Chains A and B, each alone.
Chain A
């Protein structure tokens, strides 16, 4: 019946193009054009007295890869993003599992609790963390009250990781939770009936099935963490830089736009390569079985 319906209804060839036109337009003007301009800008050079000069070569890239200073910033950015992702997996996946096991009322409540941070601006949350972690913040006051010497927490990579995990957790919980929702609950019963322990059920039955959820969650978390700006800006301070804050400083501090643009491009490409490799490795492992 549906066959006949589709043969009677012959859409115009142009229809799909017409329907996707608004999105295409948006993508081209808002994403592709700025990206292209940035890529071009990255090829220019900068002179303190003259400003931006319209040369076209790769000297900015050579400067980045030849300078230990930038390489350390890149390295720091990626290990912070990697560690944040790892912690989000370790915290978020069990959290999603517990969430999926709750009664309906409690689940609705805790889902809101998990999502609520998204309603508060990242900047506000970063300030919150800085108030907690600063030299005379709440935590250090508490430590002093019990007789422990104050600890430097603000302006450390630890502070950045903690705040990033806080911000990124919902992006891990939600895809894992969605993956858990799709599972047939009797599959667990089946494993139990075959003498599997609860731990074995988790490891052998549940985890492989939610792997795609963990995968997409970690891609989102890693990508957002590696390009995070407000949190490293506010919690890393002036000296502990991540890539995004470095780009900002090049643009607005030293006014070296071409260098800032090329750092941004390197971040983008590196991010893409890391994420695609990760995706490729995990997908090859699970796509065959889970489709």
Chain B
């Protein structure tokens, strides 16, 4: 049986629908990310699970128990807020102890548990400090320790990394995931950072305009995006709109500009409009003999471990990521030949949820 279940969960503010008919099941111990741009309803969903926002429709089941209308202070969930929301007038240890105190845990036991929680986040020596004496990363660890010390059935993380600088963020991502694995708490994280969602989660829920457009394992979501929105929001993607020219056992040829590009494993019909999607790192430069598509270098960006090129081709602009092999880049204006494995080409639904609702 699933541990946390969201059934048809919706939130409406007047005419505006923040979350629409969201269905999600989370297994015990799983790490699930709600990923989407701002305003997609991911935070509202988290707030409904936490109990700070009332659901307009639908149910939230925790371990079989309906908690949809339960007060937030009865749900017993651990929450790490975006601003960390530490109690500024209490020491780190008092912050962590607060939840135990509210649960009337005995002094000896709570002292031990506070110690363990602070050790878990490597802040053993900071118990007597006040939040304002800590760095951003340390504050975040305190918030995590405070949420975990009550041994909540579910840990909710609201954009936990957004206030950290890039390097610290990467470190904390790894550490947070390790801590989560160690304590095994079922975790739901809200983030707008696709790399964070991909690297940390067991499953990713991509949300757009209040709906879950795709729910799946990170690799699966990246490799097989269901529509153009997901392909562009999760990673970079080249999107090529075209018309199906021929169909042959599960594959199809799609005319894009004056090229016909092959795509596998689809059920397209001749004459149908579709959008092809290919990831920039799946394309490589080749000799003219092997060329599938020719182009001219429009611009190049050096990213350290790789180069990001924009090529102008007959099919439109194409982004390509090439490994940095220590050689200087192609110069703008230079002609290049491109190729890719046919299996890397995908056909995706070209319309996004936003566009669908706009058409209705």
Q: Does B134 contact A (CB under 8 A)?
A: no
- C-alpha spacing A193/B81, complex, angstroms: 11
Q: Are A194 and B98 in contact (CB under 8 A)?
A: yes
CB contact list, B80-111 vs A, under 8 A = 81-83, 85-90, 98-99, 102-103
Q: Are B89 and A286 in contact (CB under 8 A)?
A: yes
Q: Does A205 contact B (CB under 8 A)?
A: yes
* B72 (CB) vs chain A CBs: closest residue: A192
* B75 (CB) vs chain A CBs: closest residue: A193
Least Cβ–Cβ distance between B17 and chain A, in angstroms: 22
| Interchain Cβ contacts under 8 Å between A and B, 23 examples | A186-B81, A186-B83, A189-B52, A189-B72, A189-B85, A190-B86, A190-B87, A190-B146, A192-B71, A192-B72, A193-B75, A193-B77, A193-B147, A194-B98, A195-B73, A195-B76, A195-B103, A198-B73, A209-B89, A286-B89, A289-B88, A289-B89, A289-B90
Interface of A, helix, strand, loop or mixed by DSSP: helix
Q: Are B79 and A189 in contact (CB under 8 A)?
A: yes
Using known A-B contacts A200-B102, A289-B89, determine if residue A190 contacts B79 with beta carbons closer than 8 Å: yes
* B156 (CB) vs chain A CBs: closest residue: A193
Q: Are A192 and B81 in contact (CB under 8 A)?
A: no
Contact of B85 among A190, A195, A291 (CB under 8 A): A190
Using known A-B contacts A192-B72, A192-B73, A289-B130, determine if residue A186 contacts B85 with beta carbons closer than 8 Å: yes
Q: Does B335 contact A (CB under 8 A)?
A: no
| Sample of 8 further A-B pairs with CB below 8 A, known A187-B86, A193-B79, A198-B73 | A189-B52, A189-B85, A190-B79, A190-B87, A191-B87, A193-B75, A194-B73, A194-B99
Q: Are A196 and B90 in contact (CB under 8 A)?
A: no
* B150 (CB) vs chain A CBs: closest residue: A194
A192 cross-chain contacts in B, Cβ below 8 A: 52, 71-73
* A195 (CB) vs chain B CBs: closest residue: B102
Contact of B88 among A193, A196, A198, A209 (CB under 8 A): A209
- C-alpha spacing A196/B75, complex, angstroms: 11
- C-alpha spacing A107/B132, complex, angstroms: 31
B98 cross-chain contacts in A, Cβ below 8 A: 191, 194, 196, 204
- C-alpha spacing A16/B273, complex, angstroms: 73
- C-alpha spacing A42/B194, complex, angstroms: 77
Least Cβ–Cβ distance between A65 and chain B, in angstroms: 42
CB contact list, B99-154 vs A, under 8 A = 99, 102-103, 130, 132, 143, 146-147, 150
Q: Are A184 and B99 in contact (CB under 8 A)?
A: no
- C-alpha spacing A196/B146, complex, angstroms: 13
Q: Does A208 contact B (CB under 8 A)?
A: yes
Q: Does B78 contact A (CB under 8 A)?
A: yes
**Interface size class of chain A, counting residues whose CB lies under 8 Å from the partner chain:** 20 to 34
Q: Does A274 contact B (CB under 8 A)?
A: no
Using known A-B contacts A193-B72, A193-B78, determine if residue A187 contacts B102 with beta carbons closer than 8 Å: no
Interface readout for B49-83 with A: 1 if CB under 8 Å, 0 if not?
01010000000000000000001111111110111
Q: Does A113 contact B (CB under 8 A)?
A: no
- C-alpha spacing A204/B89, complex, angstroms: 9
By Cβ-Cβ distance, the 6 closest A-B pairs, closest first, are: A194-B99, A190-B85, A186-B85, A195-B102, A289-B89, A208-B89
Least Cβ–Cβ distance between A114 and chain B, in angstroms: 27
A191 cross-chain contacts in B, Cβ below 8 A: 87, 98
- C-alpha spacing A198/B102, complex, angstroms: 12
* A197 (CB) vs chain B CBs: closest residue: B73
B50 cross-chain contacts in A, Cβ below 8 A: 189, 193
- C-alpha spacing A198/B98, complex, angstroms: 14
Q: Are A290 and B89 in contact (CB under 8 A)?
A: yes
Least Cβ–Cβ distance between A278 and chain B, in angstroms: 19
**Interface size class of chain B, counting residues whose CB lies under 8 Å from the partner chain:** 20 to 34
B81 cross-chain contacts in A, Cβ below 8 A: 186, 189-190
* B81 (CB) vs chain A CBs: closest residue: A186
Contact of B73 among A186, A196, A286, A288 (CB under 8 A): A196
B71 cross-chain contacts in A, Cβ below 8 A: 192
Least Cβ–Cβ distance between A115 and chain B, in angstroms: 29
- C-alpha spacing A83/B64, complex, angstroms: 55
Using known A-B contacts A205-B87, A208-B89, A290-B88, determine if residue A194 contacts B146 with beta carbons closer than 8 Å: yes
B89 cross-chain contacts in A, Cβ below 8 A: 208-209, 286, 289-290
Interface readout for A151-190 with B: 1 if CB under 8 Å, 0 if not?
0000000000000000000000000000000001011011
A205 cross-chain contacts in B, Cβ below 8 A: 87
Least Cβ–Cβ distance between A116 and chain B, in angstroms: 32
B74 cross-chain contacts in A, Cβ below 8 A: 195
B77 cross-chain contacts in A, Cβ below 8 A: 193
CB contact list, B26-46 vs A, under 8 A = none
Using known A-B contacts A195-B99, A197-B73, determine if residue A187 contacts B78 with beta carbons closer than 8 Å: no
Interface readout for A247-278 with B: 1 if CB under 8 Å, 0 if not?
00000000000000000000000000000000
Interface readout for A192-236 with B: 1 if CB under 8 Å, 0 if not?
111111101000110011000000000000000000000000000
- C-alpha spacing A193/B152, complex, angstroms: 10
Least Cβ–Cβ distance between B52 and chain A, in angstroms: 6
- C-alpha spacing A196/B103, complex, angstroms: 9
Least Cβ–Cβ distance between A136 and chain B, in angstroms: 52
B147 cross-chain contacts in A, Cβ below 8 A: 193
